[in-house]
Amino acid sequence: MSDLKKPAGLSKEELNDFVERARKANAERMQGYREQSLKIHPWVCARCGRQFTIKNIRELTVHHKDHNHDNNPPDGSNWENLCVYCHDNEHGRYADDVEAGATPWEELSVGVTHNPFAALGEMLKSGQNGKDSKRERSGKKRK
């Protein structure tokens, strides 16, 4: 963008060309993932909850959840808005993990062993709900 600085003594034609280039650069920038994320997501840090306004929006960054800056889905599912402090912290943790020999996050396969809804289907079929179960455990009978 350094070519957009206005040199002194521009003719009207040169000034019009300068303005056209500036508008084109702005339009291209608005197609970038940061601007798209700012349109899609609220102006709040996803980690610390700090809120942003037009006055301090420059301190809100877009973090790629999978650390792949080429993965920019139009729905914004790989982005989260983070303040500069939380963003630095996130990348610091990632760098520490990589330095320690950890597998990059996009390759991790975390298995979940607990399923809180495992018995839900059976409970719904039998007509049980949380209140019935508590009564049965306390020994009270239902009227």
Which CATH number does the domain housing residue 62 bear?
3.40.1800
Look at residue 121 and tell me if it is in a domain: no
* Count of Cβ atoms closer than 10 Å to residue 107 Cβ: 8
The total domain count for the chain is 1
120/109: higher pLDDT:
120
The per-residue pLDDT for 124 is: 83
* Count of Cβ atoms closer than 10 Å to residue 83 Cβ: 21
Look at residue 132 and tell me if it is in a domain: no
Look at residue 109 and tell me if it is in a domain: no
The per-residue pLDDT for 108 is: 47
Look at residue 141 and tell me if it is in a domain: no
Residue 69 pLDDT greater than 90, yes or no: no
Look at residue 143 and tell me if it is in a domain: no
Look at residue 94 and tell me if it is in a domain: yes
Confidence at 63, pLDDT banded by 50, 70, 90:
very high
Q: Which domain holds residue 94?
A: 10-103
> For the whole model, what pTM was predicted?
0.51
* Count of Cβ atoms closer than 10 Å to residue 91 Cβ: 14
Confidence at 138, pLDDT banded by 50, 70, 90:
low
Look at residue 124 and tell me if it is in a domain: no
Q: Which whole number is the average pLDDT over 117-128?
A: 79
Least Cα distance to 71 among 41, 110, 105, 99 occurs for: 105
The per-residue pLDDT for 120 is: 77
Q: Which whole number is the average pLDDT over 108-132?
A: 68
Look at residue 129 and tell me if it is in a domain: no
Check the CA dihedral 13-17-18-20 and report its sign. positive
The per-residue pLDDT for 136 is: 53
